Structure 1
Amino acid sequence: MNRLLDFLQKRIVPMANKFQQIPFIIVLRNSMLAIIPLMIVGAIGTFVTNMPFPWLNTLLEPVKPFFNALTLTTSNISGLVVALVIGFNTARHFKLDPICGIIISLAAFFAATLTDEGAFNTEVFGANGIFTAILVGYLSVCIMHLCKKYNIEIKLPDSVPTNVSASFSTILSLAISLAIFLFIRNGLGIDINSVVTTIFSPMVNILNSLPGLMLLSFCMSLFFSIGINPIVFIGMLIPILTINGQLNAQAIANGKIPGELVTWGMETIMCLGGTGATIGLALLLTQSKSQVFKKLGRMGLAPSLFNINEPIVYGVPVIFNPIIIIPFIITPLVNIASTWFLMSNNVIGRAFIDIPWTTPPIINGFLMSGGDWRTTIWTGILVLVSVAIYYPFFKIAEKQQLIIETTERKD
């Protein structure tokens, strides 16, 4: 294990750090995290309109039009919002005017997704257009960046106000972007959204499978265990989680069983207590014989209930700890595989409501499944599973810590 950790530190960490610094990855991560509040608000509408209790459904009937509208005006415009956020973050990354970035990104997105008749295609305003919004939005602002770099812009005298000058300087880059995407879409007749969807489909298909999700979880835990924050992986997964959540919500609305298992609900199960599903470790720390571990557990338990485990990861530490890394990788894999099996066989209710990644255990099971009692109980069982997997490894680490504390007291 120590040789493996040395190899990862010397070979993989530098490569991973370089990967995290790729402009597109930075923009994608920041942009996808920014749309989470939109998804959460939309999920409230889905939850209220699909209550599992008939008497409550009847009681809420008068307010259902409001909550249907809430979903319509949030989740169903996710493609448009991504185009806005991508434009903003890409422009900010290249130190350009963010407002101009938003305008160019949104205009390019509209141009790239027109119908064959040249009308707006409202079908891509939601989840169906997210990948196109990401790619087109980023490329259009990159064109703006290149125009700025090579002085392909309209320059006004210094006496002109800055905001007016900035607007005029983007005219040529906007025209170039629109010309390119309009020519491809309407001049050549290429359905850009379909092409982009096809390009991303292998990644989507992999991550939408049990092996793919388990591989992602393995990478998240492994990279975090060597000090690399796994947020970059979540940034890549968010578009898929968002699309699947909307597909499942539509299935429920049509009286069908949700078909997608890779959802925000599954993400909270994968990261029960944080990356590495460390809720069990947090609970064990609070009962430790080691005073250091006990204090750490009491300090880290509250954040862990909301799936924030940095105090524990850096405090135990988990990083470069060959003992704790083992359950840190295994526990989320067990959570995913067992939950996937139960949901796919309809033993427990499937997740169809997008919930925040900070949703505590047990509550996440209730919310993600629209109040299904089986899923609620199952997430409680997974907390005990986490305790059981971490227990033998925790006792080894505790024994080592007690020796350190005893030695320090003698000195």
Structure 2
Amino acid sequence: MSGPQIAAATSATLVGAIILLTVAFLITKFCRKKKLQKNDASILPVKTSSSDGTPPNFSSKSEGSATEAEPIERFLDEVLRDRPVRFTPQQLIAFTENYSVKLGSGGFGEVYKGQFPGGMHIAVKVLKAGMDKRAEEQFVAEVGTIGRTCHINLVRLYGFCFDKALKALLYEFMENGSLDHYIFDEQNRLEWPKLHEIAIGTAKGIQYLHDDCHQKIVHYDIKPANVLLSRDLIPKVADFGLAKLCERDSDSYNNMTLNAARGTPGYAAPELWKPFPVTHKCDVYSFGMLLFEILGRRKNLDPKQSESKEWFPRWVWEKIEKGDMESILSLSGISEEDRERGERMCKVALWCVQYEAEARPSMSSVVRMLEGEVEIDPPLNPFLYLTQSEVLVNSDQWTGTATNDLTWTGTATNDLTSKGTSKDQR
């Protein structure tokens, strides 16, 4: 055999060997990929398509689903942009390492810290076994309302477990706890500019619920304990256990029927405990009471204060009426450079807590006023209907401590946070 023939044969042999190695490598890679997908399926929910255009359902392969599980990366992307995912009890055990880190507890159950396989931290609210009708309503309200939202100022609901033995909700984990820790605890005070940003962010979250969702969502329980703060102190409205969906083209849009009192005394609008029509403006009232507590860095009702300052909202009105803004700014620790924003917050709070719901601004107007985009008219007296004796008699009812026979105050203060044991009522 000549030299050229030998070279040609050698070249052909090398090409054949390369082809065989390439084919072997592809087969090995394919088998390995299938094996990984099989392993992933044991911990990931799988998605089933719907022919009628409704949102897909989620179930576990252990429940007999014939659909293919998605890789972890794709699954986490789906969670971040899609509707809540349905998880199994076995998956929750894996996410929480058998419920090893408790964040808080309350009348609803307990909250544990967890982590998705990709490393994302979550808060898992495990509801007490044998839910009564009210607890079931809370579960449905949480999934049915917050599960439809996606906004930077609303806490995310990633998924839920609805099993005979376990019912739980999986939320975005909020590193800095609830707002009340930063306005009532002197050891955790925030600077006024940051509190102003938090107030605006909270208002934007409520505005989204009222104006930008396909169905209007009324929260019913706006208060500092239900405003959670992220690692970067971004406020997120949480705890939708009392929330209600309203169709925009129905009578319920402006006149809702409630089968029980809702909200927390001290923040709940008068129409929630009197036989008045209830609208989304009840959230505006509650937000106004939250603004007063940000301004005063104290509870609105404080029996330890002198009689004139015992109820902070009315004291603010009396100072505004006399043109004494200096006293408010001084008490609130607001510097001269923040004076204009402090005045705006005072006026917005007074407009929000007007006794008549029709006199309260919309949350979109509240945002514009707080941001200084529009001028604010001098507020009307929101407490004109009250005499001093009525304020004292009714203080426990609508500016004081919650009682079980008056209202149901919702869930724990620290549901989604790392701030220790929560309080079920405040």
TM-score by length of 1: 0.25
Q: Please tell me whether Structure 1 or Structure 2 has the larger radius of gyration of its CA atoms.
A: 2
Give the number of the structure whose residues are more often helix, by fraction. 1
